[in-house]
Amino acid sequence: MQTLKSKWRVRWNVMDLDAMDFPTPDATVESISPEALKARIDDGEDVTLLDARMASDYEEWRIDGENVESINVPYFEFLDEEIDGDVLASIPDDEHVTVLCAKGGASEFVAGALADRGYDVDHLAEGMNGWASIYEAHEVAAYDGFGTLLQYQRPSSGCLGYLVYDGDEAAVIDPLRAFTDRYLADAAELGVELTYAFDTHVHADHVSGLRELAAEGVEAVLPAAAADRGVTYTDEVTLASDGDRFAVGDAAIETVFTPGHTTGMTSYLIDDGLLATGDGLFIESVARPDLEEGDDGAPDAARTLYASLQERVLSLPDATLVGGAHYSDAAEPAADGTYTATIGDLKTRMDALSMDEPDFVQLVLADMPPRPPNYEEVIETNLGRNEIDDEEAFTLELGPNNCAASQDALTSD
């Protein structure tokens, strides 16, 4: 005869585990906010995480760090009254443990089961969804153009964006739909008007906030070459061509066409101080060339990327800062906490930037990481062909970005 808990196990293996009603544990379990957990990690505190998601989800996307010990034990291991001894032995009983899952339901149950057995535990509020809601702004201290430049960072996926403001105007580059209200609120707090919103290209890893900001009265700017991919909302945006300039107070944003990652990939030079390179160049890697044209078109795209980097990016003064649209675990932040570096620094430490074209193409095509989760649907959404609500958009983009080529051999030791 099946016990009630064994019946739960059958049901929860085929349903959304965080949509179920878990039994209430006897012990009181505290929660920790995503922001508080990140602060502990950033402060260098040793953190032990018990990730209760399925192994496949854990392997694809999890919270990591030099001072983070991450253990994966799926939630169903805790459903029986008698938890397997090997499972309990894998969880440290002499240190604090934070349990997490996808949305917070399973982790509270698992943490309670452990607390009932004497473990020192709490659980992450809202789980990995909560982690994906963290969005931080850091000032780019080395920026020497007019006004002030901020870099937005989303640690869950490594997404980066930029806000430059001068006088009473501001512009955002590569806005995320999930944080549309944040950009408007930040501008209001700074006492400026958000005048422009720029996309560098048709993104494959996250849902753009360009249309939502346009609906709020912000002038949305999309590269004309990106629109050529079949964007359905060109009448709602300004199409920018190579060399176009946009004034933000006394600062200027210049369009620099840099195809390769996509046919429409465009960088934006912010007052000659920082080149927002989108997915063309990162501080630890270069773009992958296969997300638009697939494997067959990747070699030609890689050659185009090589030309863009050599002729349009590396030809700028060595003191020019580079800021991409992403960072990975391999990236080392600058002293100001931003993921930026000068062109001169990147020339020195990134081998891929000093190779000839054949070697460069061979390198970026070798051992490419898995494509971003749901990338085809994300692209269709950003082209305007797939209409989804905010919750669907947030869920669609969860996971790693994987927009860069493999870091292997890209940088010098």
Q: So which residues are the catalytic ones?
A: 101
Q: What is the 3-state secondary structure (H, E, C) of the chain?
A: CCCHHHHHHHHHCCCCHHHCCCCCCCCCCCEECHHHHHHHHHCCCCEEEEECCCHHHHHHCCCCCCCEEEEECCHHHHCCCCCCHHHHHCCCCCCCEEEECCCCHHHHHHHHHHHCCCCCEEEECCHHHHHCCCCEEEECCCCCCCCEEEEEEECCCCEEEEEEEECCEEEEECCEHHHHHHHHHHHHHHCCEEEEEECCCCCCCCCECHHHHHHCCCEEEEEHHHHCCCCCCHHHCEEECCCCEEEECCEEEEEEECCCCCCCCEEEEECCCEEEEECCECCCCEECCCCCCHHHHHHHHHHHHHHHHHHHHCCCCCCCEEEECECCCCCCCCCCCCCCEEHHHHHHHCHHHHCCHHHHHHHHHCCCCCCCCCHHHHHHHHHCCCCCCHHHHHHHCCCCCCCECCCCCCCCC
Bridge-based pairing state of the strands 68-72 and 97-100: unpaired
Buried b (16+ CB within 10 A) or exposed e, 312-338: bbbebeeebbbbbbbbbeebeebeeeb
Alpha-carbon 341 to chain mean position: 18
70 with 94: CB under 8 angstroms? no
The phi and psi torsions of 309 (rounded to 5 degrees) equal -65, -45
